[in-house]
Amino acid sequence: VSKKMEEYLGEDEPTLVNFVLDKLAARTAAAEVEAEVAKVLDEEAEPFTVKLWRMLLFEIKRAKATPS
């Protein structure tokens, strides 16, 4: 999340990263996350959210495929 946020903002933004991580932990819907980050990312909010959800799905599938 931190790397993607830095790609869009051009700088490290730990407060926003933590905000997004908190939203993910709370299982917030993608549309709501997009609306919240749009306040900072403007038109980049949608592509950011799409990439974030793809990354999240990849990590979930990877975790399920990894034997315990």
Q: Check if the beta carbon of residue 37 is closer than 8 Å to that of residue 45.
A: yes
pLDDT at 68 over 80: no
pLDDT in the model for residue 3: 85
> Would you put residue 29 in left (φ > 0), alpha (ψ -120 to 50) or beta?
beta
pLDDT in the model for residue 8: 80
Question: What kind and span of H or E run contains 35?
Answer: helix 30-41
pLDDT in the model for residue 12: 86
pLDDT tens per residue across span 6-61: 888 888 889 989 999 999 999 999 999 999 999 999 999 999 999 999 999 999 99
Is residue 57 helix, strand or coil?
helix
Q: How many CB atoms lie within 10 A of CB 33?
A: 20
DSSP 26: T
